[in-house]
Amino acid sequence: MFPWLTVFTSGTHKTSAAKKTWTEDDVKAIVENTQKQGAERIPFTFDHPTDNLPVLGFFNREDIRLAQHDGKPAIQVRPAAFAGGEDGFRSLAQSTHNKPSILVGIVDKIIKHIGCVEKPAVVDIPSFDSYGFSAAFSKVGCEEVEASFAFDWRTSFEYDVQQRFTVLGEYLQSQRERIIEKDGIEAADKMLPKTLHEIFYADLSQLSQTLSWVIADEVQTQLEKRSAEQQTNKLNSSQFSQEEAMEMKELEAKFSALEQRTAALETENKTLRDENAALHDRTQLAEFRAFAEKLCHSERKITPGEIDEVVENLQLRAASDARASFSEGAKTSVQLYKEKLSARTAMTALFSEQATSGRSSEADASFADDDKFLEDYNKKGVA
């Protein structure tokens, strides 16, 4: 006789789709709804197939109850039959898919099937190999029990075969009775022998046992095949992981080299920008000083003492222009300042007076020609 199996508990369970919390009320609802509205025979399946095939066994909907597991409300079911009987169940218990996982309707909260899986959502659910079996039925005084279990339906397919044989047997028996009523028993024996109905049931019993063996072998084959596939997948996954790790290491090394090269280029670029800015500043300063000295020495529009002031003003305006934006055709403040200085009238006597005042006898020789020029110019102007 199969034991009661704990197949579900309350708590928070993580599935492949989401994480959901099941309360004690949820567990009670599943038990009650399955008892009242579930299928008469609810199958055990391999994993969670959409069509409930292959069927490994089943439990009757009345063989479900509310229980406790590790202090939590739990659901227990007792299988009515399993492919290969107890031996088939023991074989499944020793496989990798030896833990129960229920499929429950989202709306009706009815168990649709119990999948035999490797990793159930309820992580602490007992595996099938943790259960024992009670002694087989005693034959003494159990005729009715034995009669009700004359055919140990191990799968839905076997159950369907039995139903079809039963309907066909009953039909042939009714036809035999009609022939007897009309033409007598001898005619009936010729057309439909009395033993035919018995032959059907005798064959069905043998067929059921044969199907059990076939299905048990097929289940074992599928388990072995799945186990082999898993081993192959693990091996391929391991090889792939090693190759991927090597490739990742190479990519990381290349990326590190690129980062170093990028950092070096950024440093080099900054150095070039700084040098370019310094060259620009020196060139601009030389340009401004040349402009100021031309105003002073050639055009006589500023005094020598104003040269540094003009250069400083031009530098300040250039810095301000660099931060500003100008529309097309607009003049910068440097240009406007230069134009303002260039528009000055040339200074004569005043320029000479300012240019020579305060200068010592050791004054810069560069002013000698200018002094002479101013002196000659002023004399002509007086004349």
Write the pLDDT tens digit of every residue in 101-141.
Answer: 999 988 889 999 999 999 898 988 999 988 865 444 333 33
Q: Is residue 184 part of a domain?
A: no
Q: What is the pLDDT of residue 113?
A: 93
* Number of alpha carbons in the 13 Å side-chain half-sphere of residue 271: 6
DSSP 125: P
The span from the CA of 107 to the CA of 30, in Å, is 11
SS3 33: helix
Number of domains the chain is built from: 2
Q: Is residue 352 pLDDT above 50, yes or no?
A: no
What is the pLDDT at residue 210? 61
11 is a domain residue: yes
Answer whether residue 343 shows pLDDT above 80: yes
Name residue, tokens 């005084």.
Answer: 141
Question: What is the pTM for the complete model shown?
Answer: 0.40
Residue 4 or 157, more confident = 4
Check whether 374 has a pLDDT greater than 90.
no
Cα-Cα-Cα-Cα torsion 217, 120, 100, 41, nearest 10 degrees, comes to: -100
Lowest mean pLDDT among 76-85, 203-212, 251-260: 203-212
pLDDT at 236: 64
Please report which confidence band the pLDDT of residue 235 belongs to, taking 50, 70 and 90 as the band edges: low
Check residue 42 and give its pLDDT: 93
Last residue of a domain, one of 121, 136, 151: 136
* Residue 351 or residue 58, greater confidence: 58
* Residue 25, in any domain of the structure: yes
- The mean pLDDT of 56-61, rounded to a whole number, is 90
With bands split at pLDDT 50, 70 and 90, how would you rate the model's confidence at 62? very high
Q: Which residues contact 328 (CB under 8 A, 6 or more apart)?
A: none
Name the residue among 212, 232, 230 with its Cα closest to residue 97.
Answer: 230
pLDDT at res. 308: 92
Last residue of a domain, one of 101, 136, 171: 136
- Return the pLDDT at 146: 33
Query: Does residue 373 register a pLDDT over 60?
Result: no
When pLDDT is cut at 50, 70 and 90, the band that residue 77 belongs to is very high
- 3-state SS, one letter per residue, for 303-332: CHHHHHHHHHHHHHHHHHHHHCCCCCCCCC
Residue 55 in any domain: the answer is yes
Cα-based distances in Å from 133 to 1, 82, 100, 324: 6, 13, 17, 93
In this predicted model, which residue has the larger pLDDT, 310 or 242? Answer: 310
- Provide the 10 A C-beta neighbour count for residue 244: 11
Domain boundary pick from 136, 161, 194: 136
- Does residue 77 form part of some domain? yes
Higher pLDDT, 316 or 346: 316
Q: Over pLDDT 70: what percentage of the chain?
A: 69
pLDDT, residue 28, reads 95
Nearest residue to 128 (alpha-carbon basis) of 57, 64, 234: 57
pLDDT tens for residues 175-230? Answer: 888 888 888 888 888 887 766 656 655 555 556 556 656 666 666 677 677 777 77
Residue 359 domain-assigned? yes
63-67, 155-159, 194-198: least confident range: 155-159
Is 281 part of any domain? Answer: no
119 vs 144: which has the higher pLDDT: 119
- pLDDT computed for residue 73 by the predictor: 94
Inside any domain, residue 313:
no
Pairing of the two strands 41-46 and 64-69? unpaired
Q: Are 136 and 1 in contact (CB under 8 A)?
A: yes
User: What pLDDT sits at residue 25?
Assistant: 94
Q: Is the pLDDT of residue 56 over 50?
A: yes
Q: How far apart are CA 331 and CA 315, in angstroms?
A: 16
Whole-number mean pLDDT of the chain?
77
Predicted confidence band at 266 (pLDDT cuts at 50, 70, 90)? Answer: confident
What's the confidence (pLDDT) of residue 138? 33
Cα distance between residue 238 and residue 60, in whole Å:
44
pLDDT value of residue 86: 80
Split at pLDDT 50, 70, 90, the class of 362 is very low
Give the Cα separation of 383 and 373 in Å (integer). 15
Task: Check residue 189 and give its pLDDT.
Answer: 81
| Residue 367, domain extent | 348-383
